[in-house]
A and B are shown apart, each in its own frame.
Chain A
């Protein structure tokens, strides 16, 4: 929690290992470890998998249903791993800030900017994979070519907004907790930290959901023209 800059853990010949990078690596490793442990417990337990399987499947089904509501049915299997990874990673990163002495990696603009860039690339990758390069690029001209500059500007601003939103929320919560600690003393910021848990959930959900909606719109835009004319006929 050092304002806008992160804390440096380790220096080596001009390279600096910052807390946010180290912690996000640890979180990623922890997620992999949790997945393998769950798999191991499932294999070893009762024939039907027992409780670990029930927990994992409940989470998986909740995420799959959320994805299936936005994305066309045939793309769910392709989009789900990306969005679910975003959700779990950001949630765990947000919650790490509750551990005394550690700051959330998502409270660092570099981490959220990297996540937003990944989303930016993924949106186009999914769109191009679904429709081919020409078909995908054509959707920028689809209602009218006059709107092209606005489309391009919105591509950039929404990526920027994605990064700033997550960073600002998490950073401001940690800063507020620290200010209350300075003003009021030990144990007083605990209600604020409870709020932090809710905020961590909500921000992870919103980041993944917005990424999902952007991917959904890229997939939607690349659908064959026949579908959209059908829709118009139904409307009229």
Chain B
């Protein structure tokens, strides 16, 4: 097993781990946010507009964390800058 082999195996495993963890925790956070929003909605149905707007913004903020992990995983898989040193 040469260096390149080891490198691609490790980077694939790390990318999979990164996206797994990076989706797991934002999913938990989103679930809590939605639960809290539904709770507020049940208490005060008349505040629906403000609640759903804030919920959307919050979900977008949380979702972007998962997206960061996705972008990093894609960079590891397709455009790994460290690969250049290995191939030189």
Q: Does A159 contact B (CB under 8 A)?
A: no
Tell me the nearest residue of chain B to A4, going by C-beta.
B79
CA distance A3 to B53 in the complex (A): 32
A117 nearest CB across to chain B (Å): 17
What is the interface size of chain A, counting residues whose CB is below 8 A from a CB of the partner? Answer: 17
Known interface pairs A4-B74, A4-B79, A69-B53; A164-B67 also in contact (CB < 8 Å) = yes
A-B contact pairs, 17 of them (CB 8 A): A3-B74, A4-B75, A4-B78, A69-B49, A161-B64, A164-B68, A165-B63, A165-B64, A167-B71, A169-B67, A205-B56, A206-B56, A206-B57, A209-B56, A209-B57, A210-B57, A213-B57
Chain A positions 162 through 181: 1 when the CB is less than 8 Å from some CB of chain B, otherwise 0: 00110111001001000000
Taking CB atoms, residues of chain A closer than 8 Å to B57 are 206, 209-210, 213
Contact residues on B (Cβ < 8 Å of other chain), bracket: 10 to 19
Known interface pairs A3-B78, A69-B49, A172-B70; A164-B56 also in contact (CB < 8 Å) = no
Taking CB atoms, residues of chain A closer than 8 Å to B40 are none
> What DSSP secondary structure best describes chain A's contact surface?
helix
Q: Does B60 contact A (CB under 8 A)?
A: yes
CA distance A191 to B53 in the complex (A): 27
Taking CB atoms, residues of chain A closer than 8 Å to B74 are 3-4, 175
CB of A168 within 8 A of CB of B49, answer no
Contacting residues of chain B (35-62) with chain A, CB-CB under 8 angstroms: 49, 53, 56-57, 60-61
Contacting residues of chain A (182-227) with chain B, CB-CB under 8 angstroms: 202, 205-206, 209-210, 213
Total number of A-B contacts with CB less than 8 angstroms?
41
Taking CB atoms, residues of chain B closer than 8 Å to A205 are 56
Chain B positions near chain A (C-beta within 8 angstroms): 49, 53, 56-57, 60-61, 63-64, 67-68, 70-71, 74-75, 78-79
B66 nearest CB across to chain A (Å): 9
Taking CB atoms, residues of chain B closer than 8 Å to A164 are 64, 67-68, 71
Tell me the nearest residue of chain A to B75, going by C-beta.
A4
Tell me the nearest residue of chain B to A169, going by C-beta.
B67
Tell me the nearest residue of chain B to A162, going by C-beta.
B64
Taking CB atoms, residues of chain A closer than 8 Å to B64 are 161, 164-165, 168
Taking CB atoms, residues of chain B closer than 8 Å to A202 are 56
**By CB atoms of chain A within 10 A, which of B56, B57, B61, B71 has the most?**
B71
Taking CB atoms, residues of chain B closer than 8 Å to A175 are 74
CB of A168 within 8 A of CB of B67, answer yes
CA distance A202 to B57 in the complex (A): 10
Starting from the known contacts A169-B67, A202-B56, A206-B60, 9 additional A-B residue pairs (CB-CB under 8 Å) come to: A4-B74, A4-B79, A164-B71, A165-B60, A165-B67, A172-B67, A172-B70, A209-B53, A210-B60
CA distance A4 to B56 in the complex (A): 27
Tell me the nearest residue of chain B to A168, going by C-beta.
B67
Tell me the nearest residue of chain B to A65, going by C-beta.
B49
